[in-house]
């Protein structure tokens, strides 16, 4: 499944997949670093409080937002990474949690059925 990250959006090719192993091919089409984090959570993607995380301000706290089931790590512009995650049924949030990015709209809801 392809996912594009850029200022200030995350755009997957689909919004729902079936349970099981999913390969996410993530491309940073932006002009700055981004990351792709997959959180299993009951909270809507736009509703996490912005506090701090790992000593950096202007980030959501991934430890309290849900369960981080996988991420790309930081991605330079014009790079692509593939990560494969075994997804269980439920609600997920895709986010970029670099400082300030989540608050600018880099989040989207995702469903596994």
Using DSSP's 3-state secondary structure scheme, residue 38 falls into strand
Q: What are φ and ψ of residue 61, in 5° steps? A: -85, 105
Q: What is the pLDDT of residues 72-99, one digit of tens each?
A: 999 999 999 999 999 999 999 999 999 9
Note the pLDDT of residue 56: 94
Topology (CATH) of 2-112: Immunoglobulin-like (2.60.40)
Instruction: Give residue 28's pLDDT band: very low, low, confident or very high (50, 70, 90).
Output: very high
With a CB cutoff of 8 Å and minimum separation 6, the contacts of 112 are: 16, 17, 18, 19, 87, 88, 89, 90, 92
Whether the full predicted model's pTM is greater than 0.75, yes or no, is yes
User: What residues does each domain of the chain span?
Assistant: 2-112
Q: Residue 24 in contact with residue 10, Cβ under 8 Å?
A: no
């Amino acid at each position: 499944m392809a996912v594009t990250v850029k200022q200030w959006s995350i755009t997957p090719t689909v919004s729902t997949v079936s349970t099981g192993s999913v390969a996410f091919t993530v491309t940073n089409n932006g002009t700055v670093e981004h990351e792709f984090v997959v959180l299993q959570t009951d909270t809507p993607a736009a509703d996490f409080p912005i506090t701090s995380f790992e000593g950096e301000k202007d980030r959501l706290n991934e430890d309290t937002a849900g369960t981080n089931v996988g991420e790309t790590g930081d991605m330079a512009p014009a790079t692509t990474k593939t990560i494969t995650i075994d997804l269980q049924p439920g609600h997920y949030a895709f986010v970029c949690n670099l400082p300030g990015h989540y608050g600018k709209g880099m989040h989207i809801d995702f469903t596994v059925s």
